[in-house]
Amino acid sequence: MMLKALSSDFLKIRGKGLWFLIFIGPIGLIAMQALNYGLRYDYLTQKYAGKLWEALLVDIQMFVPISLFLGVTLIPSLLSHIEHSTNAWKQLLALPISRGAVFRSKFALSVILLTISCMVLAAGTVILGFSLRFELADMPVGEILKLCFLPFFASLPALALFLWLCINMRNQAIPITLGVLIAISSVFTGLISSTWSKWLPINWPMFSFAGPQQELFVGAGFLLGAVICLLGTFHFIRKDVS
């Protein structure tokens, strides 16, 4: 049943700009670093001689959390807007498919789209390194994969939360504004060096890659994301959707 709902959702996003969104984010990050290294190539290659790949990952890492929070805000919003804008909720829920499957399908589709975006970022990082003539033998494949995927896993609570909000709010300006504020705040809250700051979910994408106990923040992201998704499913099942 969920596979049918997921297949239907894939058809609905055709021509809606979602594919453009999932590609433009990682490509924008890579383009920004390409410009940075293009303008200061000699300086940066001399400064970070022997650890060029590591320096590149650090530069990209700074922008991953804000990009992720924007992604987990905009993708659920666009998915929900398709139903809100056409007043299709009642028709959709009148079909022989459970409400739970509808909610889980949209969550699964969001995860798939963001996973593709992470894959594009990983491929773009490798291509950029090759273009800058970094040594192939020094390429830290594991660290590249960690940078591109672990922060996303740690941001699953935000994805589940924003999907819940976007489905239940016809006015998408509210969740989008909240998501933009969280994305901007993530740049600054991670700089707070205190024990409690590590337990703010807004900081989990950063700590899932940078710092000790990375697996703890990834695990917390999976667990809290599953809990919020479950709560959102139960609420959607019981709520009247117009």
Could you tell me the two tokens for 97?
Answer: 């498919």
Q: How many domains is the chain built from? A: 1
Could you tell me the pLDDT band of residue 125, with boundaries at 50, 70 and 90? very high
Q: Is residue 145 part of a domain?
A: yes
User: Looking at residue 84, what is its pLDDT?
Assistant: 82
pLDDT > 90 in the chain, percent: 57
Residue 242 resides in a domain? no
- Would residue 109 count as lying in a domain? yes
Task: Tell me: pLDDT of 211 over 90.
Answer: no
Q: Which domain holds residue 51?
A: 2-236
Instruction: Taking residues 97-101, report their average pLDDT.
Output: 83
Give the ranges where the chain is alpha helix by DSSP (H): 2-12, 18-39, 41-47, 52-61, 64-85, 89-93, 99-131, 141-154, 156-168, 173-189, 204-207, 214-238
Q: Is residue 119 part of a domain?
A: yes
Count CA atoms closer than 13 A to 143's CA, side-chain side. Answer: 14
pTM of the model: 0.91
> Which tokens belong to 57?
């990952």
Determine, yes or no, domain membership for 241.
no
Kindly tell me if the per-residue pLDDT of 130 is higher than 90. yes
59 within a domain of the structure (yes/no): yes
